[in-house]
Structure 1
Amino acid sequence: MRQVSVDIGGTFTDCFLVYDDAYVEAKSLTTHHHLASGFMDALAQACTQIELDVKAVLSSVDAVRYATTLGTNALIERSGPSVGILTTAGFESTVPLMRARGYGDGLTAAEQSDLPAADRPAPLVPVTRIAGIQERIDYAGKVVLSVDEDDVRSQVRRLVDEGAQAFVVALTNAVVNPAHEKEVERIVLDEYPTHLLGAIPIVLSHRVSGRKGEYARTMSSIIDAYLHNQMYHGLASLEIELRRNGYTKPMLLVHNTGGMAQLNSTASLQTIHSGPVAGLEATHYLSKTYDQPNLIATDMGGTSFDIGLVTSDGVKFYDFNPVIDRWLVSTPMTYLHTLGAGGGSIARYDRLWSAIEVGPESAGSDPGPACYGRGGRLPTTTDTNLVLGYLDADNYAGGTIKLSLRRAQRAIEEHICKPTGMSLVEAAKAIKRKVDSNMANAIFKEVAVKGYNPKNFVALSYGGGGPLHACGYAAQLGIKHVLVPPFSSVFSALGAGNMNQLHIHERSLYMMVYDATGRRLLDDYQVFNDTVAELAAKGRDDLLRQGVDPADIQSRVEVDLRYGNQLAQIGVVCPFERLTSHRDVVELLDLFSNLYAQRFGEGSQAPEAGVRINVIRVVSYVDHDKFAMRPTQAEPRPAPSPARWRECYYPGIDGAVKTAVYDVACLEEGHVVEGPALVETPRTTYLAEPGWQITIGRTGSAVLTRTI
């Protein structure tokens, strides 16, 4: 197996190279102005380790897999094009009204508790670039009013005069009958043919989202159109760079649905948060190979701390109505909770509450933490870890970044010590306590709200900064074991290399499976089966377009079920692809009832309200070879003497503590290191706080175990 996998984060660009029997990790600072530069720098570092040049590697690898932050950056910077919306006349206010409560989307829990004081986000599309056109399709897909072609041409020209550089066509009930959206597309293309320089990108809402919900579907399309140009040109420049260096195959992009696809089969919206999703997919695979059924995935990078869940009941958590930035969308994404608690998260003193806060603001990679010496002046989590003695200033990020202890000290003294009167060490301890508490609180909320107890889980800690803070948040949660996976500092990049080519297609379909009024089971299966066949055909076409062997294509059917008109609905994986008998219907109802009880408690089921299908979803995919991750088989034994000692400081302990420092290259599988201790690897550091120990596993993995 030969493949390159790259994950571009807010601070670092991570690369994982598999080349025959060689497995190589590398990191470089993310170059936000030109992502290809950081990409190629990380790849060059990896190639150097196997003594090959970049062109030799790229010309012989099977695939380049890429998780990008281009879309996220475009939203943050508001650097997208001017978008115009064509919608059904009378529905022009759907987006500005935001369901009358959308201004709370994307805010913190504290901000949502005071919605009257909340600010509406600056609109991506101003009211002047929203045009209503004469047409109407009813809820059943019947044409009530045909498209007025002259009216459409008039509105298109007006929007272009207003400066529209991309069009979103979002018509009412288009997911039931998309004929009018396709007709509008034809008219726009007639006005601005694709072969002319004045051609305008057109996004049809039914192609972006197959579910009802006009606001969320329209916002999904707006964001997709808003990101289109930057994504296209940014990724095209990267593909050109790869071609220049000998790579001739299609590049594969990671999707936030948990799969990947070629550039020609990827919508802009599907790339948002794709890096953390790759890490969670790797967690699912590791859960099986390590026989760890309950895992809390925690990814601490330079900018954020991402939390995901893998459970013994096999439930994959999706967010079917995620909030991106400040907008609700209706495209399915693998569920993750993101917290502003990375290595670059900025610490500050809140005078109103007389408390130290950390994040969500981040120093990023430019200028970065104060200790980087690149112009940053604000204290960050990385500065704190350096002051507390956990980091080696001369051997950070493989020695590519020399840290300045004095700059870190100055930043903490200026912004924390002066307003609080704390000493430098006490201020650093307070920052670490706050970071660890923020992580622990977020993890507890995510696990408990899904009906699980954190104490029954093993924490999986990865990302460049994860193993430094794992003991801190695990102790607060009562978690006794923390697993550090192989190649933990680039685990999300590794996950990108282990993903399948996959597409999800879905459609809203209100269908009663059990009618409680008449006590009848569904007995007409044609609509269900026809919808599944249509969605499966779309997924199959997506994969065939990418050159996949038809014999390799697999699929699974999922349905969203609810009791009556309840808001709570559960996604159920069907054990069959077509309904053929009442036995199939009863089996589906039993699965739904059991999952509902697991989620909300036995006895909470409400069959007396009836059971209905809201959404049918078909997942089409192709299995790919995976990088093998296997647990250690060696018997535990004491580690040798440490390479050196260092004075470190720990919250709750007065004074400096003499801490053993090990080089991971001097440790073997099965060695047990008693805390307090640091195990330094080229690109991350494992910290065993007092009362913890580290057991070294295969390929750089480790297990942190609480001993008191």
Structure 2
Amino acid sequence: MKRISVDIGGTFTDCFFVWDDTYIEAKALTTHHNLALGFNEALDLACERAGLDRETALSGVDSVRYATTLGTNALIERKGPRVGAIVTHGFEDTIPLSRGRGYGEGLDYSMQQNMPAAERPEPLVPRALIRSVKERINSAGKVVASLREEDVRNVVRELMDAGAEAIVVSLTNATENPVHELKIQEILLEEYPSHELGAVPVLLGHQVSGRKGEYVRATSTIVDAFLHEIMFHALSQLSNNLRESGYTKPMLVNHNSGGMAQMNSTDALQTIHSGPIAGVGAAEHLANSTNIGSVISTDMGGTSFDIGLVPEGGVKHYDFMPTIDRWLVSVPMVHLDTLGAGGGSIASYDRIHQSVKIGPESAGSNPGPACYDRGGLKPTVTDADLLLGYLDPDNYANGYIKLNPKRSVFAIEETLCDEMDMDVLDIAKLIKNSVDEQMAIGIGKELRVRGYLPEDFTMLAYGGNGPLHACGIARHVGITRVLVPPFSSVFSACGAGNMQQLHFHERGTHITMYNATTRALYDDYDAFNEIVEDLEARGREDLRRQGFDAEDVKYRLELDMRYGNQLLTQAVTLDINRMNGVGDVLQMIKTFGDVYSHRFGSNCAAPEAGIRVNTVRVASYVEGDTVNFESLTDGGERAVPEAVGERRVHFVDVEGAIDTPVYNHNALTADAVIPGPAIVTTENTTFLVEPGWHLEPTEQGAVWLLQD
């Protein structure tokens, strides 16, 4: 296997390079003005370590996989085209009004409760660029009022004259019958052919989302249209950059559904959070390969802290209607909880609580933390870690970045010391403890709200800052076992290399598997199978278009099920893809009951209320080679290795500094044990073994951090 996988984050661009049996990790600062520059720098470093030049590597690899936060940044900065929308007559205000709680979507809990200060986000489509056409299709897909062609032409011309640079078409009940949306697209292309100057992208709601619900389908399509131009040009630039260096195959793009596809089969909306979700995929692959049970994956980078769930048994956690930025959308997306807490998160004074507030603002890579000595003036988590003695100023990021402790002291003194009447080291301890506690609260909430206990999970800590804060986070949340996986500093990029080429297609539906009133089981098997066959055909065509044979395509059927009128919907992965009799219906019901009971307890299941299916989803995929994770057991005697130095280090719950042994990467052998307190500095990350913990390395570079 020869493969290049890249994950571009807010601070660092991570590269995971596979050349036969050689695995190489490399990092470079993210170049936001031109992502290809950071990509090339990280790739050149990886090639140098492999003894290859860039052209040789790119001409020899089987694929280049790419994950980016470009779409996320574009939404935050509101950098996008003027989008116009065409909706059904009478629904013109659905988009700007959103839903009753639309003011709170994308905000934290405290802001959602602050009703006097509630403000809806500035819409991506202003009211002046929304037009309606007279048409109506009912919920059964029957045309009630036909579309009038002349109305469409007038509306299209009005939007174009108003300066629309992209057109969204989202009509009522188009998921049941898309004939009117397709007709509008046809008329648009007649008026403004794609080969002529003045043509604009046209996105249809039913093609972006197959679920019912006018508002969420419209917002999904609008976000997709808003990101379309910037993603198209940026990814095309990256693709051209690869071709100039000798790479001739299609570039693959990671999706937030947990799969990937070629650029011509990727919607801009699917790239949001694709990098962190690749890390969740890698965590799932590691958990299944090594049988370590349930895992909570935590990715602490420079900008954010991402939490993903990987329960034992393969239960999938999706966000059915995730919130992206401030908008509710309707796309199947692997569940991910993101906190604004990373190494570059800025520490500020919270006047209400008279304490330190961490994030969500980040110093990013430019100018970066104050200690980077690149013009940053605000204190960050990294500045606190440096002053507490955890980081080596001359050997940070393998010497790539030299840290200046005096800048950190200045930033904390100017920003926090006078406000809090504390010295610099005490404030640094408070920053460290606050960020650890903040991330622990996020983990505990994520587990308990889904029916899990923290003590039943192994915490997977990765990202550039994950091993540095792992003990502190675990101590706060009540987890006693932390695993730092192989290639931890580029683990999300590693996950991108493991992703399968996969497409999700889904359809919103109302199927009553068990009718509690009539006590009857569902028996329209042909109708159910017809839906599944249609979704499989769409996935098969996607993959055939990318060069795969139809016989290589595999399918996984998933249903979103619930008891009666419960709001909670549970995704259920099935072992069968067709319904051919009452036995299959009972098997689906049993699978749902088992998953539900495992998650919430057997006494919570309520089949007597009825069992319903809201969505039918088919994952179409082609299996490929993956990175091999070796066993995490060692079975031998362990001994304490020899330290390479000593450093005065400050810990949160300890008065004064402690003379702490320092080890390098040579100490991370499978027969070693390192008792805390200790620091282990490697090429790409730093392990902090706090008092009361010890470190046990394993084969292939994985490291256990265990509470004594």
TM-score, normalised via structure 2 length: 0.99
- 1:204 Cα shift? 0.3
CA–CA separation in structure 2 for the residues paired with 1:636 and 1:240: 53
1:698 aligns with 2:695: no
Q: What is the DSSP-based 3-state SS (H/G/I as helix, E as strand, rest coil) of the residue aligned with 1:647? A: strand
Counterpart mapping for 1:194-233 below 5 A: 194-233=194-233
TM-score, normalised via structure 1 length: 0.99
CA–CA separation in structure 2 for the residues paired with 1:358 and 1:403: 21
CA–CA separation in structure 2 for the residues paired with 1:389 and 1:427: 14
Task: Tell me which amino acid in the other structure corresponds to 1:286.
Answer: L
Q: Is the 8 A contact 1:559 1:615 kept in 2?
A: yes
CA–CA separation in structure 2 for the residues paired with 1:626 and 1:650: 40
Q: Is the 8 A contact 1:135 1:145 kept in 2?
A: yes
Aligned to 1:363: 363
Q: What is the DSSP-based 3-state SS (H/G/I as helix, E as strand, rest coil) of the residue aligned with 1:640? A: coil
CA–CA separation in structure 1 for the residues paired with 2:294 and 2:124: 40
Counterpart mapping for 1:268-347 below 5 A: 268-347=268-347
Aligned to 2:113: 113
Aligned to 1:373: 373
Q: Deviations over 1:596-652 (max 9, x none)?
A: 223333233333332221110000011110111113443241132100000010001
- 1:101 Cα shift? 1.8
- 1:576 Cα shift? 1.0
Q: Deviations over 1:30-70 (max 9, x none)?
A: 11111111111100111111121101100110100000111
Aligned to 2:684: 683
Aligned to 2:29: 29
Q: What is the DSSP-based 3-state SS (H/G/I as helix, E as strand, rest coil) of the residue aligned with 1:13? A: strand
CA–CA separation in structure 2 for the residues paired with 1:639 and 1:549: 54
- 1:667 Cα shift? 3.8
CA–CA separation in structure 1 for the residues paired with 2:519 and 2:51: 71
- 1:408 Cα shift? 0.8
Q: Deviations over 1:108-156 (max 9, x none)?
A: 0111112342221111010000000111101100001111110001011
Aligned to 2:576: 576
Aligned to 1:642: 643
Q: Is the 8 A contact 1:104 1:115 kept in 2?
A: no
- State the identity as a percent: 55
CA–CA separation in structure 2 for the residues paired with 1:371 and 1:613: 54
Counterpart mapping for 1:547-566 below 5 A: 547-566=547-566
- 1:571 Cα shift? 1.3
Task: Tell me which amino acid in the other structure corresponds to 1:127.
Answer: R
Task: Tell me which amino acid in the other structure corresponds to 1:281.
Answer: G
Aligned to 2:658: 657
Counterpart mapping for 1:92-131 below 5 A: 92-131=92-131
Between stretches 692-701 and 283-292, larger displacement belongs to 692-701
Q: What is the DSSP-based 3-state SS (H/G/I as helix, E as strand, rest coil) of the residue aligned with 1:658? A: strand
Task: Tell me which amino acid in the other structure corresponds to 2:446.
Answer: E
- 1:564 Cα shift? 2.3
Aligned to 1:450: 450
Gaps of 5+ in 2: none
Aligned to 2:522: 522
Aligned to 1:670: 671
CA–CA separation in structure 2 for the residues paired with 1:334 and 1:533: 24
1:80 aligns with 2:80: yes
Aligned to 2:181: 181
Q: What is the DSSP-based 3-state SS (H/G/I as helix, E as strand, rest coil) of the residue aligned with 2:99? A: helix
Q: What is the DSSP-based 3-state SS (H/G/I as helix, E as strand, rest coil) of the residue aligned with 2:508? A: strand
Aligned to 2:395: 395
Q: What is the DSSP-based 3-state SS (H/G/I as helix, E as strand, rest coil) of the residue aligned with 1:27? A: strand
CA–CA separation in structure 1 for the residues paired with 2:316 and 2:102: 27
Q: Is the 8 A contact 2:676 2:693 kept in 1?
A: yes
Task: Tell me which amino acid in the other structure corresponds to 1:504.
Answer: F
Q: Is the 8 A contact 1:676 1:690 kept in 2?
A: yes
Q: What is the DSSP-based 3-state SS (H/G/I as helix, E as strand, rest coil) of the residue aligned with 2:60? A: coil
Q: Is the 8 A contact 1:636 1:695 kept in 2?
A: no
Aligned to 1:432: 432
Q: 1:575 to 1:633 in 2, by over 3 A?
A: closer
Task: Tell me which amino acid in the other structure corresponds to 2:118.
Answer: A
- 1:464 Cα shift? 0.1
Q: Is the 8 A contact 2:81 2:226 kept in 1?
A: yes
Aligned to 1:134: 134
Q: Is the 8 A contact 2:641 2:673 kept in 1?
A: no
Q: Is the 8 A contact 2:539 2:620 kept in 1?
A: yes
Q: What is the DSSP-based 3-state SS (H/G/I as helix, E as strand, rest coil) of the residue aligned with 1:91? A: coil
- 1:527 Cα shift? 1.2
Between stretches 389-398 and 483-492, larger displacement belongs to 389-398
CA–CA separation in structure 2 for the residues paired with 1:623 and 1:142: 40
- 1:590 Cα shift? 1.5
Q: What is the DSSP-based 3-state SS (H/G/I as helix, E as strand, rest coil) of the residue aligned with 1:657? A: strand
Task: Tell me which amino acid in the other structure corresponds to 1:81.
Answer: P
- 1:212 Cα shift? 0.4
Task: Tell me which amino acid in the other structure corresponds to 1:313.
Answer: G
CA–CA separation in structure 1 for the residues paired with 2:700 and 2:30: 26
CA–CA separation in structure 2 for the residues paired with 1:632 and 1:313: 19
Q: Is the 8 A contact 1:676 1:691 kept in 2?
A: yes
Q: What is the DSSP-based 3-state SS (H/G/I as helix, E as strand, rest coil) of the residue aligned with 1:100? A: coil
Aligned to 1:418: 418
Q: Is the 8 A contact 1:639 1:667 kept in 2?
A: no
CA–CA separation in structure 1 for the residues paired with 2:377 and 2:704: 36
Q: What is the DSSP-based 3-state SS (H/G/I as helix, E as strand, rest coil) of the residue aligned with 1:358? A: strand
CA RMSD after TM alignment: 1.0
Task: Tell me which amino acid in the other structure corresponds to 2:105.
Answer: D
Q: Deviations over 1:68-122 (max 9, x none)?
A: 1111111111111000000001001111111122111001011111234222111
Q: Is the 8 A contact 1:636 1:672 kept in 2?
A: no
Task: Tell me which amino acid in the other structure corresponds to 1:488.
Answer: S
CA–CA separation in structure 1 for the residues paired with 2:518 and 2:667: 72
CA–CA separation in structure 1 for the residues paired with 2:362 and 2:621: 37
Q: Is the 8 A contact 1:556 1:620 kept in 2?
A: yes
Aligned to 2:461: 461
Q: Is the 8 A contact 1:647 1:659 kept in 2?
A: yes
Task: Tell me which amino acid in the other structure corresponds to 1:369.
Answer: P
CA–CA separation in structure 2 for the residues paired with 1:338 and 1:183: 40
CA–CA separation in structure 1 for the residues paired with 2:116 and 2:518: 45
Residues matched between the structures, number: 707
Task: Tell me which amino acid in the other structure corresponds to 2:647.
Answer: R
Q: What is the DSSP-based 3-state SS (H/G/I as helix, E as strand, rest coil) of the residue aligned with 2:464? A: coil
Q: Deviations over 1:394-449 (max 9, x none)?
A: 11112111111100111111112121111111010000010010011110000111
CA–CA separation in structure 1 for the residues paired with 2:498 and 2:291: 18
Between stretches 198-207 and 307-316, larger displacement belongs to 307-316
Task: Tell me which amino acid in the other structure corresponds to 1:171.
Answer: L
Q: What is the DSSP-based 3-state SS (H/G/I as helix, E as strand, rest coil) of the residue aligned with 1:316? A: coil
Aligned to 1:252: 252
Q: Deviations over 1:496-544 (max 9, x none)?
A: 0011000000001111111122111111211110000000000000011
